[in-house]
Structure 1
Amino acid sequence: MAKIALGTSREATQPDCLKALVVEFICTFLFVFVGVGSAMSAGKLSVDPLLSLFFVGLAHALVVAVMISAGFTVSGGHLNPAVTLGLALGGHITIFRPILYWFDQCAASAAACVLLKYLTGGLDTPVHTLANGTDYLQGIIMEIVLTFSLLFTVYTTIVDPRKGSLEGLGPLLTGLVVGANIMAGGAFSGASMNPARSFGPALVSGNWTDHWVYWVGPLIGGGLGGFICENFFIVRSHVPISRDDQSF
């Protein structure tokens, strides 16, 4: 079983943590700017719904792959509170670190959406809401499954030391699964998989309809994905982080 490190508040003042927070903010900001911006572009151009779904999914796939790669060596390129939680429950970062990352990721998302609203002349930032005919339970389960598949991909293609021929392809493959999940679940739950991605548009537009679903579902899916992958699928010869270690 992976050992979960608690960490302490002193992490917030360590240079490596501060640098990671800056890079995580930049990467999450750019991810949300492109992701939400692609949805706004599709809406402005009145694109066919099926083509719009493909366009938004492809945009997310590309920007996720690039931003994970850009931030990986400094912050890990999480971009997502659910990914951060999954890595914490797998023992890869301390439990204290996600608190800092979550504030950072949500602030970056809000900043990106504020800028998008200004640059587009006041257009609303589209929010994640459940489609007609999709109830709360269905939406939560959809988000759990989609986010679990995201964490499964992160662990098996990036975290797992035995990835072999997949070495270096993890960010691209993670981006592809995000895009595929949007195409599969976008018409039902919106396929957020990311509480921060949902938070920014909701805050800027003032529309909190169904918003809690996009915290509950992804965090459950991310937590389960990290815990199960680390403890049942990955074989290690050492524990990645001790209970008291404060390093990232």
Structure 2
Amino acid sequence: MGNLHETLGINDLKSKNTLWKALLAEFLANVLLNFFGCASCVSATGKPTSFVLIALTFGLVIFILVQTLGHVSGAHINPAVTAGMMSVGNISIVKGILYIIVQCLGSLAGSSVLKALTPEPLHSTGLGNTQLQDDFTPVQGFGVEFFLGFVLVLVVCGVCDPNRPEAKPAAALAIGMAVGVGHLATVDFTGSSMNPARSFGSALIANDWDDHWVYWVGPVLGGIAAALIYKHAFSAPSLGPLKIIERYTTTADEKELKRLDVNRRDENLP
């Protein structure tokens, strides 16, 4: 029974203070993602929105949120990331499900705020709702979103690998760049969702559910595939505490140690 509780994550519910902070962080992160990210898709001037602007906005928002809230919840901000982490046991099932629920609620709240703060004539643009472009079939859209989820979770796994401490300082930037690259490459194909919750909030506000399954099945399966491949094929080997310390030893540290050693020898001279 104890193992079952551990696997499901029932014990996580006992640490209510920590859990609620994490859930609040995931909720707030998705509010901000859908507000700022989807706002970049709306043009108040009537001119077409620049794809570069959209890519930079989503990438920078993710960079900011991961850097700010990563220590609270891990800053998944995406059911595809959460599903990938669940598949390799990095987060419990119960906690993962709660994460996905609040991510969807946060995205809905963010899109709702965006709708409330924009003039009604702009609502016809869909307020950032992701849609397949003309001539793209649902299967093709699924493939695009699969690889978007795949590359995002692969980067997350790589920079958050506990045996690669040197990657941690650049983790938020790398994740934000992965989101930016995904948008630059495919925003004209599927809207480059990468994030089922982000698409859910926009779709509900726009009341447009055409091919919506693409934006859930694609990124989630891509995220799970990336997490499993990374864990079983690419995980960095454990270096042990001494090796990790050595990895962080810099040339300046070595010079300082040598200087102190010379000073000690000089002090011992008659």
From 102, 112, 115, the counterpart of 1:104 = 102
Partner residue in 2 for 1:22 = 24
Per-residue deviation, residues 156-190 of structure 1 (Å, max 9, x unmatched): 122352253x3310111110111111110111111
- Distance (Å, rounded) in 2 between the aligned partners of 1:88 and 1:63: 24
| Higher RCO (Cα < 8 Å, 6 or more apart) | 1
Partner residue in 1 for 2:130 = 128
Partner residue in 1 for 2:193 = 192
Partner residue in 2 for 1:117 = 115
Partner residue in 2 for 1:225 = 226
> Where do 5+ consecutive residues of structure 1 fail to align?
239-248
Counterparts in 2 of 1:6 and 1:187: CA distance versus 1, 3 Å: same
From 141, 145, 148, the counterpart of 2:150 = 148
SS for the counterpart of 2:231 is helix
SS for the counterpart of 1:134 is coil
- Distance (Å, rounded) in 1 between the aligned partners of 2:93 and 2:237: 21
**Is the 8 Å Cα contact of residues 63 and 172 (structure 2) preserved in structure 1?**
yes
Which amino acid in structure 2 is aligned with residue 46 of structure 1? Answer: G
1:4-19 aligned at under 5 Å gives the runs 6-9=7-10, 11-12=12-13, 14-19=16-21
From 81, 85, 92, the counterpart of 1:94 = 92
**Is the 8 Å Cα contact of residues 156 and 163 (structure 1) preserved in structure 2?**
no
> Where do 5+ consecutive residues of structure 2 fail to align?
240-270
Which amino acid in structure 1 is aligned with residue 8 of structure 2? Answer: G
Aligned-pair CA distance for 1:22: 0.8
- Distance (Å, rounded) in 2 between the aligned partners of 1:39 and 1:154: 25
- Distance (Å, rounded) in 1 between the aligned partners of 2:148 and 2:105: 24
- Distance (Å, rounded) in 2 between the aligned partners of 1:227 and 1:134: 29
**Is the 8 Å Cα contact of residues 156 and 175 (structure 2) preserved in structure 1?**
yes
SS for the counterpart of 2:133 is coil
- Distance (Å, rounded) in 1 between the aligned partners of 2:132 and 2:150: 19
Aligned-pair CA distance for 1:138: 0.7
Aligned-pair CA distance for 1:55: 0.4
- Distance (Å, rounded) in 2 between the aligned partners of 1:26 and 1:66: 13
- Structure ranking higher in helix proportion: 2
Counterparts in 2 of 1:47 and 1:171: CA distance versus 1, 3 Å: farther
Identity within the alignment, %? 35
- Distance (Å, rounded) in 1 between the aligned partners of 2:108 and 2:96: 18
Per-residue deviation, residues 211-248 of structure 1 (Å, max 9, x unmatched): 1110010110011111111121104549xxxxxxxxxx
- Distance (Å, rounded) in 2 between the aligned partners of 1:68 and 1:217: 23
From 65, 68, 71, the counterpart of 1:70 = 68
Q: TM-score, normalised by structure 1?
A: 0.87
Aligned-pair CA distance for 1:126: 2.7
Partner residue in 1 for 2:258 = none
Aligned-pair CA distance for 1:46: 3.3
**Is the 8 Å Cα contact of residues 66 and 171 (structure 1) preserved in structure 2?**
yes
